Structure 1
C-alpha cells in the first residue's frame, strides 16, 4: 500500500483482462438479452444520505437489469460462447441466488437446460424466480459443499459449469458494466463497486482503467465476508472459515486466481463496511432515491458515506447498484433494523 492508502504498483499481476475492444465484442454477443442500464445523478437529502462534501454522485442502476442483477452478463457470455454439443448437455452453477437466476435465464435464452445448486439459506424469492426460468434446483448447506456439488454435476452429466465470479468468460461479461459506465460518464473521478468473489469489480475495473486511467476504482466488502480484502493482505487468494453478513450476494467463500489477479492490477483499494452501515444505506436509497435495493447494492453507498468519505470529497463518483432480488418481508426487516 502507498502512503495515501492506495495499492502499490497498480500494474502488478500477469493478466491484462478484457480490453475495451473485447468488452465491446462481448456486449455485441449478449446485447439481445440484456439492458443497457441507466445512470442517474442523485442529490439526496443530507440528513438521509450524508454523501462526501462537494461530491457529485451518480448511480449505475444494474438493479434494473433483466433477472434483477448484473450477473446475467457473465452467465450469458458463458452460454453464448459455448458450442452446440456442449449446450446440448446443459449448464450448471452454484449460487446464493442472483447467479442461479441468471444462469437459468441464460440457459432458456440459448434453448438448453440448467441444473443449479443454491444455498439452503437462499432467499425464497430468488429460488422462485430461478424456478420460473425453468431451472432444476438442488440445495447445499454452505458455499464449499455447493461448489463441490456443482463440480460433481458438471463431471457426471457433462454440463457446462458456469462460475459465479471466476474465469475469462464470466469476467468478460461483467466488463460490459465498466464499458457502459465509462461511456455514460467518461469524466468520473471514482467508481465504487461491491465485491463478492470479485467477478464484477475485476471486469469493471479492467475496462475502466484502460479507458480512464485516472479514475479510481474502489471495492467494498462486508466485514463478515471479506475474502478479497484478506486475499490482498495475504498476497494470494484465501478462503473464509465462515460468512456472516446480511449481504448474502457478497458472501463468496473464497477469492479465485483470475479475478484476484485483476483486482491486484486495477483496483485502487478495497474497504469494509458493517451490516449496520449497509442497512442505513439500503434505507437511504429507498427513502430518497425511491429504489428497492438488496443489501449488496447498498454497500457502495455505505462505503461512500463511511470509509471512503474523505477520499471522495469534491469528486464525481459512480456507485454501482448491483441487484434488487429481495422479497418484501426481508427488505422490511432490514429497513426497520436501520432505525
Structure 2
C-alpha cells in the first residue's frame, strides 16, 4: 500500500522556489554523453553530472535551500550535522561562506579525504565509532550547545533543494523516459521524483542502492523506516543507516522501481565509468551506471534514459580498493 505524503512534504512549487534560492551560488550541472561508455553498454545514455557541482556532489543544493529558509535563531549558535562526507562538505562550505560555525560528526571509517575537506572548508570534525554513535553524539551536542542539527536528507527544504536536479533534467532532456538515481537516505530520489512526476507522471524513476545498505528497501518491506544495524558498502556516500520519515512515504509515491546492487557490481560499474566514461565518480555516484552495466536494471532499446552521477569525492586509497575489487 502506498503511504500518504506526510504533512509538510515539499511540493513542486517548493522545488521551483528552491531553484531560485540556490541560483546565485550554484550553476546547473551538465548532462553529457560518453561515446566510449555507450559502446560498452550497447545503448545511448545521458549522464547528469552532479559530481561537477560545488564540493563535488549534489549536496549543496539541499544545504543552500535549508539555509535560505532558516530563521536567525536557528543559525545563532552554529550548525551541526552527521555525514559520511558529502553532506558535511556541503554544509561546511556553505556555512563558511556565511561565517556560520559548523560541526560535522562522522563515523570513524569515513574517508580521510572527506574528513580533511570538511576541515578545509572550516568545519570542526568529530569522529565517532560508527554512524549510530555519530548520530547519538550529534543529538547530545546539539542539546548541550544549542546548535541546530541540519539533517543530511530528511527535511522538506533539503529534499526540495535536491529536487532541483529533476527540474534541470526536464529542461535539458525534455524527451526523457527514465531516470536512474542513487539512493542513500532517500533525499535525492525523493526530490527528483517530486519534480519529475509533477511535470511528467508517466516518466519512470528507478532507485539503486547498495545491497549492504538497503535503507529504502528495508523501509518498503517493513512499512516504515527501520534502523540498519551495520550498513557496510564500498559506496560509502550511500551508507545511511535509516531511511527518512519524510523520504520513505515520498519514495512510495514517486519511485517506480527500487533495486539493490552487490559490491562486485558497484566496483565494476565504477571502474567502467572511470575508464570508458572518463568521469572520476565515487562508487555511490556511479551506482546508477553500475546498475545498467550489470543488467540489474532492464531498459528498452529505444528508452530515453538518464543516470544521475551524484558525486565524485574519492581518495586514492578508495580508488585502489575499488580497482582491486573490480579486477
Q: Structure 2-normalised TM-score?
A: 0.95
| Residue number in structure 2 paired with 1:168 | 156
Matches of 1:88 and 1:45, distance apart in 2: 48
Q: 2:310 aligns with which of 293, 311, 322?
A: 322
Q: Are 1:234 and 2:230 matched, yes or no?
A: no
Matches of 1:259 and 1:325, distance apart in 2: 24
Matches of 1:134 and 1:311, distance apart in 2: 44
Q: 1:92 aligns with which of 71, 80, 83?
A: 80
Gaps of 5+ in 1: 1-7
Q: The residue matched to 2:226 in structure 1 has which SS?
A: coil
Distance verdict in 2 for CA 1:312–1:220, change over 3 Å: farther
| Further displaced range: 74-83 or 271-280 | 74-83
Distance verdict in 2 for CA 1:108–1:312, change over 3 Å: farther
| Residue number in structure 1 paired with 2:172 | 184
| Residue number in structure 1 paired with 2:22 | 30
Matches of 1:185 and 1:108, distance apart in 2: 34
Matches of 2:281 and 2:105, distance apart in 1: 24
Matches of 1:198 and 1:46, distance apart in 2: 28
Maintained 8 Å contact 1:18/1:207: no
Matches of 1:237 and 1:333, distance apart in 2: 31
Q: 2:41 aligns with which of 47, 50, 65?
A: 50
| Residue number in structure 2 paired with 1:3 | none
| Further displaced range: 64-73 or 148-157 | 148-157
Gaps of 5+ in 2: none
Q: The residue matched to 1:220 in structure 2 has which SS?
A: strand
| Further displaced range: 209-218 or 81-90 | 81-90
| Residue number in structure 2 paired with 1:13 | 4
Matches of 2:21 and 2:325, distance apart in 1: 42
Q: 1:276 aligns with which of 264, 278, 281?
A: 264
Matches of 1:220 and 1:303, distance apart in 2: 7
Matches of 1:80 and 1:122, distance apart in 2: 28
What do residues 55-82 of structure 1 show as CA deviations (whole Å, max 9, x unaligned)?
A: 4310000000101111111112222211
| Residue number in structure 2 paired with 1:115 | 103
Matches of 2:96 and 2:49, distance apart in 1: 24
| Cα shift at 1:234 | 1.9
Maintained 8 Å contact 2:107/2:133: no
| Cα shift at 1:304 | 1.5
Give the alignment of 1:153-164 within 5 angstroms. 153-164=141-152
Maintained 8 Å contact 2:197/2:254: yes
| Residue number in structure 2 paired with 1:40 | 32
Matches of 2:11 and 2:113, distance apart in 1: 36
How many residues were matched structurally?
326
Matches of 2:102 and 2:59, distance apart in 1: 15
Matches of 2:53 and 2:77, distance apart in 1: 27
Q: 2:122 aligns with which of 134, 154, 160?
A: 134
Maintained 8 Å contact 1:43/1:57: no
Maintained 8 Å contact 1:103/1:114: yes
| Further displaced range: 81-90 or 254-263 | 81-90
Matches of 1:242 and 1:309, distance apart in 2: 26
What RMSD, in angstroms, separates the aligned Cα atoms of the two structures?
1.7
